[in-house]
Structure 1
């Protein structure tokens, strides 16, 4: 595998970063993960918008744009002989003295790597299992997609490696938050529910895409503070992230759910697949109507 690092494309075995990088020493780094479908980086503009906002907050003096990143991705895809790929775009603060720094970081490290993925994946069903460990609170006023992943790692150890399961966090106040690597949605009586970002969750790019998709289709969306019992009465439930896309839930708590057979989940998945080879941002989506789709 070939990796991009600070302007060079080199073999992964040759990648080196300094132990004095503050992304390593103090967790001052951000990343985005997204998929490339037949050469197209789906929702790249949205990922870069979130990344750039986080970089400003961390005082890392760099911003990235579509043209710049797309050129790097095309080079990496060609070098790795890929047209469909998982991409991790990682920015760390760069080298500094030992000790906490308040000055601007002016020489960050950019590392981009990718691995192959199939152009289309069967939508896997998962069982959503409540975790004993709570979701930690964000380090700042809201959660960044940062290097601070110990909470997620401990949660993954609690639930194990089974790919058919996803752990669901409650926050410290007992409200539903998010999955270990996903955001949570459910449908009840035609309304789409999802935990608010005020619970401390990451505002996922696919989460934002699904909310926009629902609103564009005239589906009512309620973001709020929800207890477990409110989700257990759901008609359908699904999880989202940028790699696994939209994953139906077949069981949550004591409730059996329709999983992949759910009509609304099928509609979201169908429209997602329809957009993923062309959209740069959620703002540009076109939808097949839900009522028309259900008649098929």
Structure 2
């Protein structure tokens, strides 16, 4: 995204105020820092507006509700995002919004009264859509790791919290396994009983004999917003889409593989555990359809079509 020197020139939104990046701080007694007791969303900004804002906003509320402080999510959160973008003169950006339970006494059991910490962080990215370029330079290589996705009974899978330890451990495994000749871009995580789950920061898709497959929400995965868009685009083209329970061999034997997240969008995969995978026609088509959707929603249309709305489809 951006280096530390460029970050220092930015402005963030902290607890209702626009603050220079080098002055933007939270308390050491904030429960997000102390216990990972917070919710967050990562957004992609195209043409000055968040992509799929409603879906991100709703998931943030669901996570906060799981953590017991749903009322702490400010009603003017979108306005805070817009103000942060305007303060930094950014139309194309990475954006992270965080809401924690705030500063409380240093004990595990939270107080019932919540004075939340709310932060909007941004960093510049390039243009998206048909005329843009992906943030990644090459298709991804993925590698299986030993770190497992915790069962939902231990850590609610659909809650996007500040507790990202499994993903961190998975990425550390990739770092330890890297050599001068090879390093993987993404970790493939399995469940405790060996089922295919997700990447450290992405959802996984693969194509098997013309059918697009991805782990279902019966498996402990975080169902991503971009994942939902990819499924919708595939179904709109009449492709067979199947969510289910899959194994690592299903991924290794696939005809095509790709990852999705808000920053990568749809990123093709060309290697799974050292096994070459082609970038096939379904991956290429879905990538193009995704770009066209962004173009229509945020940049005024494709081939003369009008824009769909500033948020990329509030109900999508």
- Structures share fold, TM-score greater than 0.5: yes
Provide TM-score, normalisation by structure 2.
0.82
2:286 maps to which residue? 268
Provide the C-alpha distance between the structure 1 equivalents of 2:230 and 2:173, rounded to a whole number of angstroms. Answer: 28
1:82 maps to which residue? 90
2:133 maps to which residue? 121
Query: Which whole-Å deviations, capped at 9, do the CAs of 1:57-106 have from their partners, x for residues lacking one?
Result: 211122355xx333322322222121100001011111112223354343
Query: Which whole-Å deviations, capped at 9, do the CAs of 1:261-283 have from their partners, x for residues lacking one?
Result: x1111111111111225263667
Provide the C-alpha distance between the structure 2 equivalents of 1:73 and 1:179, rounded to a whole number of angstroms. Answer: 27
Provide TM-score, normalisation by structure 1.
0.88
SS of 1:134's partner is: strand
CA contact (8 A) 1:93 1:105 kept: no
CA contact (8 A) 2:141 2:184 kept: yes
1:254 is displaced (CA, Å) by: 5.2
1:234 maps to which residue? 254
Going from structure 1 to structure 2, the CA distance change for 1:81 and 1:163 (only over 3 Å counts) comes to farther
1:232 is displaced (CA, Å) by: 2.0
Going from structure 1 to structure 2, the CA distance change for 1:94 and 1:102 (only over 3 Å counts) comes to closer
SS of 1:49's partner is: helix
Going from structure 1 to structure 2, the CA distance change for 1:281 and 1:53 (only over 3 Å counts) comes to farther
Cα RMSD for the two superposed structures:
2.1
CA contact (8 A) 2:212 2:239 kept: yes
SS of 2:147's partner is: coil
> Does 1:19 find its partner at 2:28?
yes
SS of 1:56's partner is: helix
CA contact (8 A) 1:21 1:96 kept: yes
SS of 2:257's partner is: strand
Going from structure 1 to structure 2, the CA distance change for 1:159 and 1:146 (only over 3 Å counts) comes to same
CA contact (8 A) 2:66 2:159 kept: no
Going from structure 1 to structure 2, the CA distance change for 1:238 and 1:282 (only over 3 Å counts) comes to farther
Provide the C-alpha distance between the structure 1 equivalents of 2:139 and 2:22, rounded to a whole number of angstroms. Answer: 36
Out of 7, 12, 19, the residue aligned to residue 10 of structure 1 is 19
Provide the C-alpha distance between the structure 1 equivalents of 2:241 and 2:73, rounded to a whole number of angstroms. Answer: 32
1:217 is displaced (CA, Å) by: 2.3
CA contact (8 A) 1:3 1:15 kept: yes
Runs of 5+ unmatched residues, structure 2: 1-9, 298-308
More deviation in 209-218 or 26-35? 209-218
Q: Which residues in structure 2 correspond to 1:87-166 (within 5 Å)?
A: 87-119=95-127, 120-122=132-134, 124-138=138-152, 139-160=154-175, 165-166=185-186
2:58 maps to which residue? 49
Going from structure 1 to structure 2, the CA distance change for 1:263 and 1:135 (only over 3 Å counts) comes to same
> Does 1:59 find its partner at 2:68?
yes
2:49 maps to which residue? 40
Provide the C-alpha distance between the structure 2 equivalents of 1:163 and 1:79, rounded to a whole number of angstroms. Answer: 37
Provide the C-alpha distance between the structure 2 equivalents of 1:82 and 1:5, rounded to a whole number of angstroms. Answer: 18
CA contact (8 A) 1:126 1:251 kept: yes
SS of 1:133's partner is: strand
Going from structure 1 to structure 2, the CA distance change for 1:170 and 1:142 (only over 3 Å counts) comes to closer
Going from structure 1 to structure 2, the CA distance change for 1:271 and 1:163 (only over 3 Å counts) comes to farther
